[in-house]
Amino acid sequence: MTRCIGLPLLAATLLSSTPVAAQLATRPAIFPAPAELTLGTDTMTLGRRVTLIAAAGTDAATVVLAGQILRTAGVETITAARRAERAPTQPQIVLGLADTAIIRTALAGTTPDAAPEGYTLTITPATNTITLAGHDADGLFHAVQTLRQLIQRSTLPALVIRDHPAMPVRGTIEGFYGKPWTMAERTRHLDFLATVKANTYVYSPKDDPYARDRWREAYPAETLTQLGTLAAAATRNHVDFVYAISPGPSICFSAPADLQALRTKFDALRAIGIHRFYVALDDIEYKKWNCDADQAAFGPSSAAAAGEAQARLLNAVQADLTRRDPKAPPLIMVPTEYYDAKDSPYKAALRDDLDPKVVVQWTGTDVVPPAISVPDAKAATKAFGRKTLLWDNYPVNDYAQTTGRLLMAPYARREAGLAGELTGILSNPMNQEAPSRAAVTGVLAFAWNDKDYDAERTWHWLARELAGGDAQATAALLTFFDTQHMAPTFGSQPWQEQALASTHCSPASARRWPTAMRKYARRRSPT
């Protein structure tokens, strides 16, 4: 069977009443795959009336989101209550932090997940109760996103989910060249990130003049207001908004005035609700000083001298962040040698001189690597003197081999076990925000649970999500994805080939693309 013929069949199977579909209904498909899911033998039906009980201190916005998700699933009446009943007359949903008394009682002896961002979700038909317990506020928010997926089916199986992310940092970096996303696209992107349990968005468009060429200048008041609104949207979605500045093309590393310019820029952003910062030193000429003062301070220009100069500047910025807030998250940087893991005088200087708290990004074995293995990441750890944060240049399409293309192949050829050697993964998406999701969903599913990640199943799940569960639209989207099944590198051969099955697709399948893509566009923010 060719893959194109198989796509409509798979989509139909997901929604049909065949024995295969019955098996899927018994064990629900959750994406990202949870760390632990234990099934029971009984089932319960949600119905049109439920009781919602929130433990004291539960984030009000999360409670509101849970109510919105329930209504979207067909619940017509939601009754708020302060305590759970032992024998409720209608389904009850109990949510809150795991250390509250009401949640401990509702879990009925189940040991809650205790990892950062972890959550425990139980469905107990015997008491007609669904319990969502977060280890912290982020974990509870993730539990609500899992609930959103579970209640898309009318019959819910008895189960216990204990889940937490494998990698601490999971998200995207808007780090491409060319036309940046609009503020509206960024807001939709943040809404999307929430649904796949991401926790980081880095604002780093190369064509923002106030972040690169004119980095010393203050943002216009209107732009600053827009960035503040965007940061608030990130907070609402439990996503860290990280502001990246790129002073490398013109900075004088030894100049007190330039260090003060960074402080001033960050102070203005801190005032509008942005509290995590990033200094990007990629794509610059680092073997030539921008000022005579650096020649006097660090000696003749060289890769090693550049590493020393950058480390001194970044250490001063990190110290300033800690002085202002001892609990502030660490500074992130991307080095000039951000690719490969070969030792060099530059990397040695960073390894020896850079504050160990500063997070270092790394793009893998190349700028656009065809694969990344655990030994590759171990080599990077050794070269930089710390575990790195992977900047994965997929599905970015701002270089020559990608001109005029959408890159929508599944996220593949990253080795299970990388979570043990990375602090996280940030995907660099395309200039086109919505189409980026086909690959970005895979990046985030891998970062959440790399050991149980299935590239093809995640790809298929996203299509079904975007199609609203419609089998024909799902099949049409998968066919469209296949025509854009491409992952180039800087070399002559792509690491994933294009359109593996499209030549076998029927005209009828092709005719369904316009309808499917209209649904795709309408569902850009699937919450």
Q: Could you read off the pLDDT of 8-25 as tens digits, one per residue?
A: 334 333 333 334 333 344
Tell me what percent of the chain is helix, strand and coil, each rounded to the nearest 5. 40, 15, 40
Does 128 share its domain with 178? no
Q: Is residue 525 part of a domain?
A: no
What single letter denotes the amino acid at residue 464? R
Within 82-220, strands assigned E span 92-97, 119-124, 129-134, 155-163, 169-174, 200-203
pLDDT at 218 over 70: yes
Both tokens of 106, joined, read 């509702």
Does 274 share its domain with 404? yes
Task: Give the end of a domain, one of 139, 163, 187.
Answer: 163
Q: Is residue 497 part of a domain?
A: no
Contact assessment for residue 134 and residue 65, using Cβ atoms and an 8 Å cutoff:
no
Strand partners, 390: 362, 425
Q: Is residue 277 part of a domain?
A: yes
Does 230 share its domain with 345? yes
Does 330 share its domain with 438? yes
How many distinct structural domains can be found in the chain? Answer: 2
Task: Give the end of a domain, one of 453, 475, 503.
Answer: 453
Task: Give the end of a domain, one of 163, 192, 218.
Answer: 163
Does 190 share its domain with 329? yes
The pLDDT mean for the chain works out to 91
Which distant-in-sequence residues (6+ apart) come within 8 Å of 59 by Cβ? 137, 140, 141
Range 406-434 average pLDDT:
97
Range 407-436 average pLDDT:
97
Both tokens of 501, joined, read 């099955």
Does 219 share its domain with 279? yes
Q: Could you read off the pLDDT of 241-284 as tens digits, one per residue?
A: 999 999 999 999 999 999 999 999 999 999 999 999 999 999 99
What single letter denotes the amino acid at residue 424? G
Range 374-388 average pLDDT:
98
Q: Could you read off the pLDDT of 276-321 as tens digits, one per residue?
A: 999 999 999 999 999 999 999 999 999 999 999 999 999 999 999 9
pLDDT given for residue 364 in this prediction: 97
Q: Is residue 519 part of a domain?
A: no
Does 268 share its domain with 359? yes
pLDDT given for residue 154 in this prediction: 81
Q: Which uninterrupted H or E stretch holds 46?
A: none
Both tokens of 398, joined, read 């701002």
Range 416-434 average pLDDT:
98
| CB burial of residue 256 (10 Å; 0-12, 13-18, 19+) | exposed
Q: Is residue 508 part of a domain?
A: no
pLDDT given for residue 502 in this prediction: 56
Edge-first strand order for the sheet with 36-45 is: 36-45, 155-163, 119-124, 129-134, 92-97, 49-54, 77-81
pLDDT given for residue 503 in this prediction: 46
What CATH number does residue 97 fall under? 3.30.379.10
Q: What is the Cα–Cα distance from 171 to 190, expressed in whole angstroms? A: 10
pLDDT given for residue 515 in this prediction: 52
pLDDT confidence band for 383 (50 / 70 / 90): very high
Does 271 share its domain with 158? no
pLDDT confidence band for 2 (50 / 70 / 90): very low
Q: Is residue 257 part of a domain?
A: yes
Strand partners, 244: 278
pLDDT given for residue 4 in this prediction: 43
Task: Provide the percentage of residues in the chain whose pLDDT is more than 90.
Answer: 85
Return the active site residues. Answer: 283
Helix axes 513-522, 471-483, angle to 10 degrees: 100
pLDDT given for residue 492 in this prediction: 78
Does 159 share its domain with 266? no
pLDDT given for residue 5 in this prediction: 34
Q: What are phi and psi of 498, to 5 degrees?
A: -90, 145
pLDDT at 31 over 60: yes
Q: Is residue 500 part of a domain?
A: no
pLDDT given for residue 27 in this prediction: 83
| Count of positions (residues) in the chain | 527
Q: Is residue 327 part of a domain?
A: yes
Does 201 share its domain with 327? yes
Count of helices and strands (H, E) across the chain: 17, 15
Domain holding 62, by residue range, is: 36-163
Does 191 share its domain with 293? yes
Q: Could you read off the pLDDT of 96-147 as tens digits, one per residue?
A: 999 999 999 999 989 999 999 999 999 999 999 999 999 999 999 999 999 9
| Placement of tokens 């480390």 in the chain | 311
What CATH number does residue 254 fall under? 3.20.20.80
Does 122 share its domain with 178? no
Q: Could you read off the pLDDT of 472-521 as tens digits, one per residue?
A: 999 999 999 999 999 999 887 889 888 777 544 444 544 454 455 444 44
Range 61-73 average pLDDT:
97
